[in-house]
Structure 1
Amino acid sequence: MASIDKRSDGRYRARWREYPNGPQRTRTFARKRDAETLLADVQHRLLAGTYTPPEAGKITLAAYAEEWLRRRHWAASTAEGVERMLRLHILPELGWWPLPGLRRAHIEQWAAGLTLAPSTIRTLHRTLSSLLASAVEDERIPRNPASGARLPKVDGDDVVPMTAQEVQAVAGAMVEHIRTAVVVAAGTGLRQGELFGLTVDRVDCLRRELRVDR
């Protein structure tokens, strides 16, 4: 899926495709070894899963967030809560960044500059991380830069239960197959291992009971 040809002007043109029948990419160099270096780098990033198509760099976080919100089928209250978090706290600082240029350090700097309770910052971070996880699924970026970001510590006195609207907003921001798990965890207080051990035969909808035994 890659080749180099010499043009009539003596320059070297590198050609490659990210996948069969995909769009052909080209770059021209004065030296053949520079073209070879480029193709080797492209091949390495394709194999490592870190390759980002050139056009991905043209979209900003704010533009992608608008697209992301349009594609979500949320209840009106959930959509309103997520949109408010983005508009008031996330996009004013980070919205101008091109998606591939956003790094974990930028997110940590943003979080550190927020004059909000640490628990609220973590709620905002979860929303941002869900947005960026969607960008990974859409192949706009190779990795989620919000993953593993260091956030302000939540002190014991600062732990405040999430409101029903906040739970809906967080659940709505998640990928579809884990939204129910978010709601169940918020409503029951189950720990992660208990939640993951919950199977259909341990749910009694008629009695409104869950059996937690593993």
Structure 2
Amino acid sequence: MTTKKRRSPGEGSVFEFTTSKGASRFGIKFTRTLDDGTKKQVLRHRDKDNRPWTTKRTAQAALRDAMAEVNRPGYVEPSKLSFGEYLDTWAAGLRLAPSTTSSCEKNIRLHIKPNLGALPLAALTGAKLSAFYRKLETDGRRDHRAGEGLSARSVRYVHTIVHKALEQALTDELISANPADRANPPTAKQARAPEMRPWTPAHLRTFLTWSADNSPLHAA
């Protein structure tokens, strides 16, 4: 008679469940030991980018990765600090030129905190950041042209701020990975400033001919 081997408590397991729409999905469950020696059960239904596991194999791979992560030396428990609260602390410690700091704080106030500020640091994912960037490109302006989208260059600058702030959060051991590394902001090529095309002598002559008869500022 063959006896089925039972998993040890710390080995973890994969389980199958059915969503409200009848779809089959998989989750992972394991136990980790905290710094004070107590045990904590971890239960997850989705990956770090909020994507469900649709096969047992992908869930098993995720279980192995998760257990290796939480058991490695220096593992950081996801922080409950909100992204907005962290941004305030991070921005206050910047050592940049006043104009750069002012621009950074303006983007945090107008764009980042209204959209992402209430989220815990641990809840930020590459997918959420990518969706945020798309939203800015669609209706991100907050000036007299509110409702229009920001330029690719402006959105990439916002991404630079988000990435640098989260990189510092990683250094401060508040998160275990930088979700901005997995986001999709506008590319450097898309964000490149339009090429300057100065007038040719022919263009200038055409303009001066027109202004001589049509503009009171022609002499200037």
TM, length-normalised to structure 1? 0.52
For residue 121 of structure 1, what is the amino acid of its counterpart? V
- Do the aligned partners of residues 45 and 93 (structure 1) sit closer, same or farther apart at CA in structure 2, a change above 3 Å counting? same
Gaps of 5+ in 2: 1-9, 11-30, 42-63, 137-148, 195-220
Give the match for residue 153 of structure 2: 119
After TM superposition, give the deviation of residue 97 of structure 1 in Å: 0.7
Partner of 1:159: 192
The aligned residue for residue 99 of structure 1 is: 121
The structure 2 residue matched to 1:45, chosen from 65, 69, 75, is: 69
Deviations 1:39-95 (A, max 9, x none): x99862245579332xx4320000001111122222322221110011111111011
Q: What residue in structure 1 maps to residue 163 of structure 2?
A: 129
Deviation at 1:153, TM superposition (A): 5.3
**Aligned AA (1:44):** A
Q: Residue 181 of structure 2 corresponds to which residue in structure 1? A: 147
> Quick one: structure 1 residues 28 and 160, their matched pair in 2 at CA, closer, same or farther if it must change by over 3 Å?
closer
Say if 1:93 and 1:110, in contact at 8 Å, map to a contact too: yes
Work out the CA distance in 2 between the residues paired with 1:84 and 1:14.
41
Cα RMSD (Å): 3.2
2:104 pairs with 1:79: no
Mapped partners of 1:57, 1:143: distance in 2? 12
Report percent identity of matched pairs. 27
Provide the C-alpha distance between the structure 1 equivalents of 2:99 and 2:87, rounded to a whole number of angstroms.
Answer: 18
Larger Rg: 2
* Contact kept? 1:58, 1:98, Cα under 8 Å: yes
C-alpha contact (below 8 Å) 1:135/1:141 kept by paired residues = yes
Q: Distance in 2 between matches of 1:15 and 1:44?
A: 13
Aligned to 1:67: 89
Structure 1 counterpart of 2:86, which letter? Answer: Y
Moved more, 43-52 or 126-135: 43-52
Tell me the equivalent position of 1:57: 79
CA offset at residue 108 of structure 1?
Answer: 0.4
Whichever structure has more helix as a proportion of its residues is 1
Counterparts of 2:40 and 2:188 in 1: how far apart (Å)? 52
The residue type equivalent to 2:109 in the other structure is R
Note the alpha carbon deviations across 1:133-173, whole angstroms, 9 max, x for none: 000001111111011421245777x6317xxxxxxxxxxxx
CA distance in 2, matches of 1:159, 1:60: 32
Q: Give the number of equivalent residue pairs.
A: 131
Inter-partner Cα distance in structure 2 for 1:41 and 1:153: 30
Change (3 A) 1:154 1:139: closer
Distance 2:184 2:166 in 1: 16
Q: Distance in 1 between matches of 2:117 and 2:85?
A: 8
